[in-house]
Amino acid sequence: MTAVPTIGVLALQGDVREHAHALEASGARALTVRRPDELERVDGLVLPGGESTTMWRLARSFDLLEPLRKRVEAGMPAYGSCAGMIMLADRIRDGAAGQETVGGIDMTVRRNAFGRQVDSFESDVVLTGMGDTPYHAVFIRAPWVESTGDAVEVLGRAEGGPNAGRIVAVRQGRLVATAFHPELTGDFRVHHYFADLVRRTTEEE
């Protein structure tokens, strides 16, 4: 019988309920995470969208930033969407003064690269390992990935328009990140992909 992984959703800001619903629909048990002891109870973690500078400051206030870094360094699977992508990046461009990240993915991410809230848009993205049907992605004040290290696999790029070819989905080992918000679409392929990654990880350990 396949084990049911417990996947946390960092509940400092963002679409926490929507991510939890998508994880449950993907066969995982969802748990909100605000404290270090809750972090220790999960097999994997989702870092949702929101505002990356606020998320960083709240993680500091809740004494979560260092525990998050240690769990990621120790091999905990993590998935970041939008601001969560920024939080998993090793390097940021256009960040706030002194802005810190959890890190783990060898990439440079540009904050608010696609523009302000009014510049939010939807676009189809073909995602490696998630079927042949393009994913209808929602971008809200989204970042993009400017560069990646050799260990990073590009899972998807923006299709069409002036930003065609921009990297918007990546994976490095047990870490996955997207510039868009899959929790808002009703298409849970990204969450299925991540839940399967967490499940495989727990079975290997």
Residues with a known catalytic role = 82, 181, 183
Q: 81 - beta bridge partners?
A: 178
Q: What is the Cα–Cα distance from 133 to 61, expressed in whole angstroms?
A: 42
Residue 113's closest CA among 165, 60, 187?
165
Please say whether the dihedral angle defined by the alpha carbons of residues 174, 167, 189 and 133, taken in this order, is positive or negative: negative
Q: What is the Cα–Cα distance from 112 to 105, expressed in whole angstroms?
A: 18
27 burial via Cβ count (<10 Å: 0-12, 13-18, 19+): middle
Q: What is the Cα–Cα distance from 63 to 78, expressed in whole angstroms?
A: 18
Q: 47 - beta bridge partners?
A: 80
Q: Are 161 and 123 in contact (CB under 8 A)?
A: yes
What tokens does 133 get? 């049907």
Task: State the DSSP string of 102-121.
Answer: ---EEEEEETTTT-SGGG-E
Q: 3-class DSSP state for residue 92?
A: strand
